[in-house]
Chain A
Amino acid sequence: MNILPDQLPFWIAGPLLGLLVVGLFVVANQPLGASGAYMQTMKAVRRDTDTVGWRVWYFGGIFVGGALATILGPGIEIRRGYDSMTAAGWSPTFIALVVLAGAIVMGYGARMAGGCTSGHGICGTAQRSPASWATTATFMATAVAVTGVLTLLTGGDL
């Protein structure tokens, strides 16, 4: 519907995210993470008795909220995504394999570190947790380095 701009400026989206972080602490004393919600959703599917149910609603909420912003913005369009990889001449199967491999490594690392970009990167750092600052610095530096290698390997295509 193009009610939203193409991309919110970071100086609007960032503070909004910060207020959501504070809000969830004030309401529920809980961090606005994401990988923990994946874990609880997995537990719900397995019907584990110690599943934290509201995290499953939260998981679904992220999906619905993303759809809502897309409807108010450019509109939902069924497409593959990862246009840059297609432009680099990669086949759909190869792209899927790369994304799958990257996501598996990411999930494994998130579970090992105890959080991801939101859990450690925003909520943990905002709680002044040394472990979160160390994790965030580590994954930021690694991601920049790996991206540099990817750019070199693909001759600047990625």
Chain B
Amino acid sequence: MRNPMNLVGGLFGAGFGFVLAAARLHEYDTIHETLKLESPYVFGLMGLAIGISLPLLWILERRQVATVYGGRLALSRSKIERHHIVGGVLFGAGWSIAGTCPAPALAMLSSGATYGAVAVVGLFVGLWLRDRQVAAGTGGASIGDGEHRDLQTTPAGSA
């Protein structure tokens, strides 16, 4: 393989999708039972995921660990801005109505639920609509947070 990061990406994506489907997070009922506060499942899952990764990342950051393909480990922290709150309100409303979120929607589709395709298409449309505004300079910046930063150059084979 020319770029080992592709394999890494594929494997981590597969692990992620596997856990989501095994936890049935791609089912409307799993999400809604938590959002109706009838089951602690999703909150417990997220809480434990954070509970494990936050201290480990903190330690790794303090030790200035060198990552395999991405240079020295660097966590990113952003200040709270208006777009986080407004975006969070919109995301939360959509999450509740569609009963799924971006990664579980893919697992929903691959589990055989055809409405998963509707959710995936809708997500693409929504992301694209906002991205157009950002590109046109009317939407303000929304890159630079935990998620939307990306490895620009991958030193292929230089591990």
Contacts and interface: CB of A to CB of B under 8 A. Distances in A.
Interface of A: 4, 6-8, 10-11, 13-40, 42, 50, 52-70, 72-73, 76-85, 95-96, 98-132, 134-148, 150-151, 158
Interface of B: 3, 5-30, 32, 35-37, 40-42, 44-54, 56-58, 60, 65, 67-81, 83-103, 105-116, 118-131, 134, 139, 142-152, 154
Contacts of A151: 36
B73 A39 contact: no
Contacts of B116: 81
Contacts of B89: 109, 138-139, 142
B13 A37 contact: yes
A123 B77 CA distance: 11
Contacts of B128: 42, 107
Most buried by A among B46, B68, B111, B130: B111
B147 A138 contact: no
Given A27-B68, A28-B68, A108 B127 contact: yes
29 contacts: A8-B19, A13-B19, A16-B19, A24-B8, A28-B67, A32-B12, A34-B106, A35-B102, A35-B148, A40-B150, A53-B3, A58-B10, A62-B16, A65-B21, A69-B19, A69-B20, A70-B110, A77-B112, A81-B115, A84-B28, A100-B122, A103-B100, A104-B94, A111-B131, A127-B76, A128-B77, A135-B84, A135-B88, A139-B91
A22 B52 contact: yes
Contacts of B73: 25-26, 29
Contacts of A20: 12, 15-16, 19
A99 to B, nearest CB: 5
